[in-house]
Chains A and B, each alone.
Chain A
């Protein structure tokens, strides 16, 4: 099989196989989680309660309680939907693109990135469902034989494409994530001391034993699933962008949207991976596995993507002028660069195109506090990007008589907080019940990637 060149040492500390198992599972096998875990759980639950309140009010009253109006029919719901989907892109982008490219440094990060994907996509899915108003009729969107004709769904609609793409994406990334965990669950099963834990992980591990043929099938299946899911990364966000691009709204009706959205999604996803990995590294003392080199690699990718983002913003502006449509020109020049939404536009530019350029400096890439702050800034910037796209175009369209301002209500905000809570809880449960790094994969790269390899390596 083809072997890729390895960049530097991926696992520090001259470890052996047993050490990897023990160290990755250390926080997991602790009797009880640390205090901050409970604090996080409490905060997450409080956020979910706020969100639940918003959802209950929404369902019992109707979506009139949101800040939407006749003109701005999409507000925070779609912004947050696109934002979450974007974050959800990292897992697959990370683990699958890097798997196909055989970048071995993915191994310490892919599990967490995939976990993030699954939770973020779950959060994202909530918004369009609630936006339907009658959420109990959400199944109408599925093409099933019904008594209404049977009237099938509109297979030409980007909104239906969304349903297909996102459910496929959720299924595929869930499957990919779970499959990677099976050998690690088997390790836990064999190490478990309590009967309950042994039984639970015995079920979860599906009876995995790790024979040579099993591993061959396992790896082949993983690469196949990866290869199949990689096009999804591109297609899901392209399809999300078509929700906008196939309309005739000024500012939306552009051909740049699919690549621009895909890149934006990967950008925000990598930003979130960075945030998460810095926390994991710090809190669980995984410095040997998530090395400075890993974070450096992500920072370099972010710099590059940030340049693409800047180019995309410039291209949009240029085409607005070059295209010669007065409405486009108005949206970009009078309603984004200047006008009511200046703050959102310039926040977007600053956070996405300018601040990440600081990663050119090695000193900043090495300073994890700075990197952490910047990774959060990127996600704020990406949120504002969606805000700019959704709100500016809708609020001032072709007829000045139908212009309207958009202000989110408390319910919009509460729902967003609720999804942040779901995400937080998901991550906390992930920290507690699932090994945070793919143990079997780490062992697989140990020999090839440790520079200080000596005769005793891998032996006790």
Chain B
């Protein structure tokens, strides 16, 4: 089934944030907001949160333990060999553990970002409006089947009143990225 979206185009981030706030207050479900750069206020308005820092911490901790285990196993268990009179389980392992932890955390944080965001090389996307990578901002509201004409009109009025410069209905492209925003 074809899905249709109501798209409001804005050309100023402050106006956009105010519009998103108004839409939220009037209980209109915002599907996506596209912008050419990050807008911090928007995250508060939409109530977005990310658990990435927690994950990074976990990666780092696990990485630290794994690296220490590897160093211990190689130097103490698998092939014990004295270097420069230092103990087998040497204090200077700290350096490799430190750098190795960063290595693991960086690599996995980066990967997690792409996996969660579901993007990667070769992914084909059709944007709802290509100008949102340049100088325009778009609020996308899904026009669900239950919407009455009146409701659609109401949404469009809100968009217009909040300063949208263009309002249109667009068929959702095939490779549209859908994200839950609540």
Contacts and interface: CB of A to CB of B under 8 A. Distances in A.
B147 interface: no
Nearest to A189: B133
A46 to B, nearest CB: 34
Given A155-B92, A202-B124, A225 B106 contact: yes
Interface in A343-391: none
Interface residues of B, number: 71
Interface in B84-100: 84, 86, 90, 92-93, 95-96, 98-100
Given A190-B133, A210-B132, A221 B102 contact: no
A64 B133 CA distance: 56
Interface stretch (A74-82, A171-179, A312-320): A171-179
Contact of B110 (A208, A225, A440, A459): A225
B102 A215 contact: no
B53 A224 contact: yes
A262 to B, nearest CB: 15
Interface in B1-42: 11-14, 32-40, 42
**What is the predominant secondary structure among interface residues of chain A facing chain B?**
helix
A187 B124 CA distance: 14
Interface string B113-138: 11011011111110100111111000
A407 interface: no
Contacts of A232: 99, 102
B179 A18 contact: no
A314 to B, nearest CB: 29
B152 interface: no
B102 A228 contact: yes
B75 A209 contact: no
Given A17-B134, A212-B46, A217-B116, A172 B106 contact: yes
Interface stretch (A35-43, A145-153, A330-338): A145-153
A155 B109 contact: no
A111 interface: no
Nearest to A236: B99
B13 A155 contact: no
B144 interface: no
Interface residues of A, number: 65
Nearest to B123: A207
A394 interface: no
Nearest to A151: B79
Contacts of B90: 155-156
A154 B83 contact: yes
Contact of B37 (A18, A189, A215): A215
A142 interface: no
B128 to A, nearest CB: 8
Kindly name the residue among A157, A224, A229, A439 whose own CB sees the greatest number of chain B CB atoms within 10 A: A224
A266 interface: no
B3 to A, nearest CB: 16
B158 interface: no
Contacts of B96: 155, 160-161, 164
A175 B109 CA distance: 10
A444 B42 CA distance: 13
A181 to B, nearest CB: 13
A203 B103 contact: no
A440 B148 CA distance: 38
A21 interface: yes
B91 to A, nearest CB: 9
A152 B75 CA distance: 8
B45 to A, nearest CB: 9
Contacts of A206: 114, 119-121, 123
Contacts of B42: 212
Contacts of B181: 212-213
Contacts of A460: 11, 135
B6 to A, nearest CB: 16
B102 A209 contact: no
Given A21-B134, A154-B83, A217 B95 contact: no
Top 3 A-B residue pairs of the complex, sorted by shortest distance between their CB atoms? A207-B123, A17-B135, A215-B38
15 contacts: A21-B135, A143-B74, A152-B74, A156-B90, A172-B103, A175-B110, A183-B36, A190-B133, A204-B121, A206-B119, A210-B133, A221-B113, A224-B56, A224-B109, A239-B99
Given A150-B79, A155-B90, 4 more contacts: A21-B135, A150-B78, A171-B106, A206-B114
Interface of B: 11-14, 32-40, 42-43, 46, 48-50, 52-53, 56, 60, 70-71, 74-75, 78-79, 81, 83-84, 86, 90, 92-93, 95-96, 98-100, 102-103, 105-107, 109-110, 112-114, 116-117, 119-125, 127, 130-135, 175, 177, 179, 181
Interface of A: 1, 16-18, 21, 143, 149-152, 154-157, 160-161, 164-165, 168, 171-172, 175, 179, 183, 186-187, 189-191, 202-204, 206-221, 224-225, 228-229, 231-232, 235, 239, 439-441, 443-444, 447, 458-460
